[in-house]
Structure 1
Amino acid sequence: MSLANATRSELTKQFTTSMWWILAIVLVVYVGSTAGGLAAAFGGTASGAIGADVGGVPAMSAEAVPPLIYSLATAVGYVFPLLIGTLLVTGEFRHQTLTPTFLATPRRGVALSGKALAGVAVGVLYGVVALIATVGPGAGILAAFGVDTALGDSGTWAMLGRIVIAYVLWVLIGIGVGALVRNQVAAVVGVIVFTQFIEPIVRTISTLVDGLSGVLSYLPGAASDALVGASIYTTLMTGDGDGLPWWGGGLVLLGYAVVLLVLGHLLSWRRDVS
């Protein structure tokens, strides 16, 4: 089977299951409600409608609010493309559908490449969905408070494009994780624990230790924030800092994807399937 046919087959398998749209709905609710709530809080303080001391909401300039709100798509939502990429592979191991996949595509490198290309399409889809969920309510609420939405700024649209790129890279990282860790439960739990607990805790600790933040800027979540160019985490916890440039963050995130895909192929993907 050619790479094009393998990619088409992977897309068919992905979109004939319910998992992709269930995760998409959860993504919309999660990032949309977060964007709406924070847009009201920060937009209110930036416009003066809400006192900066109300609810402990820090005051920030009106220019800084829109990118912070829009970047919530990745800052809090990157776990979703990571999960869908992981499930795209581990689901085959769990439901034992990988055997017919390999029978149809004996060249396993082609099969994994087909999954990766299908993952690119899924990443673009999820990225667009996340942007609609954040930019829609976020910009609407900011406009209601009289705060410039910055949607007429080319820099804002460049950031939105980088958010979609980040989603694609996170899906590819997830595919690499799924290829390397065959057990679906272990892979999903590992993804959630690392993204929601380990890395946030480590990044928080790094703000208290001199010289550590520069090293930890190479963590995947930090690299994703650098690629996008804005993040509520870096704004509220670490300030502007000396993090990676956007292209550096993109290269680091791409490096994670390539390394995990290669390791998954070499260490797990080529093994016998029971």
Structure 2
Amino acid sequence: MLASVHAELLKFFTTRLWWGMAIGVFVLGAGLSLLFGILYTSESLLETASGPGGVPTGDATQIANSVYTGGLGFAYLLLLCIGVLSIGMEYRHKTITSTFLTVPKRARAMLAKVLALLVIGGGYGLLSLVGSVSVGALVLNLRGEDPFPSTEILRTLALSLLVLGLWALIGLGLGILIPNQVAALMIGVGVAWIVEPVLGFAIKATDFGREHVAPYLPSEATQAVVNTVRSSPDDVRLSWYAAALVLAGWAALAAGPGILRALRQDVS
């Protein structure tokens, strides 16, 4: 199994994709932590529990969480794309045949892909945190705020790595279920970045939707896991561990059927 995981990692790190993604993740993490560090420590947001017009606010821990995970919203989209490409490129370039010939037990080959994506997600997460924490802590300190107001910050940083790994698995499932790689990328990013947030906004328009539906959406679960500031004081959130289970469920819902299809379908 270790040899299979190593082979999957080599497939990724021997391309030029990985360092381009690495630069993007690091720069976005640092840049957005600077932006959110200035935004969330502004006087108007610190004085009230909810700013005018539903301005995002929170306590000191939530503010620090939001600053340090500022790049997470873009990072999980990049990991979603990596998940799609990890299998999509194999089908596009017909290397999936050699993969299954090298590892005849397809279940082992797919498990190796899953484990490799978790490692890649954790690696990019660490890179993002290096940029965001170093810049964010400096901004918070310069603006007179405690960069680490509680030990919960450490839990948030660790959970952000899990979040990225789960989004990569969602991408893996999409890459198998949607044969066309370009279509899979466009649909995945479009749904995650545009459709799902807009749908969530519409769902929150009703009390039932806000309380019983919206918290279970992938993006809402992601924010609950890392305990960032709320977009509105009326927002209902799951506990971090419940949200982590929900996000894991979405990953299983996307990756599970895709992996089963890969195990059974003929390839050439």
Fold match (TM-score > 0.5): yes
Amino acid in the other structure paired with 1:110 = R
Matched, 1:180 2:177: yes
Q: Counterparts in 2 of 1:75-86, with a 5 A limit?
A: 75-86=73-84
Amino acid in the other structure paired with 1:221 = S
- Matched with 2:227 is 229
Gaps of 5+ in 2: none
Listed one character per residue, the Cα deviations across residues 177-224 of structure 1 (whole Å, up to 9, x for unaligned) are: 222222210111011101110011111222322211221221111121
Listed one character per residue, the Cα deviations across residues 34-68 of structure 1 (whole Å, up to 9, x for unaligned) are: 221121232243698xxxx9xx9777655542122
- Matched with 2:143 is 145
Task: Quote the Cα distance in structure 2 between the aligned partners of 1:104 and 1:11.
Answer: 15
- Matched with 2:12 is 14
- Matched with 2:201 is 204
Matched, 1:245 2:239: yes
CA drift at 1:268:
4.2
- Matched with 1:23 is 21
TM-score, L = length of structure 1:
0.87
> CA 1:200–1:179 in 2, change beyond 3 Å: closer, same or farther?
same
Match of 1:103 among 88, 101, 120: 101
Listed one character per residue, the Cα deviations across residues 154-179 of structure 1 (whole Å, up to 9, x for unaligned) are: 11101111111111211222222222
Percentage identity across paired residues of the two chains? 32
> In angstroms, what is the RMSD of aligned CA positions?
2.4
Task: Quote the Cα distance in structure 2 between the aligned partners of 1:58 and 1:209.
Answer: 20
Number of residue pairs the alignment of both structures matches: 262
- Matched with 2:120 is 122
> CA 1:126–1:95 in 2, change beyond 3 Å: closer, same or farther?
same
Displacement over 3 Å in runs of 4+: 56-64
SS of residue in 2 equivalent to 1:78: helix
Amino acid in the other structure paired with 1:43 = T
CA contact (8 A) 2:33 2:68 kept: yes
- Matched with 1:267 is 261
Task: Quote the Cα distance in structure 1 between the aligned partners of 2:233 and 2:12.
Answer: 39
CA contact (8 A) 2:68 2:129 kept: yes
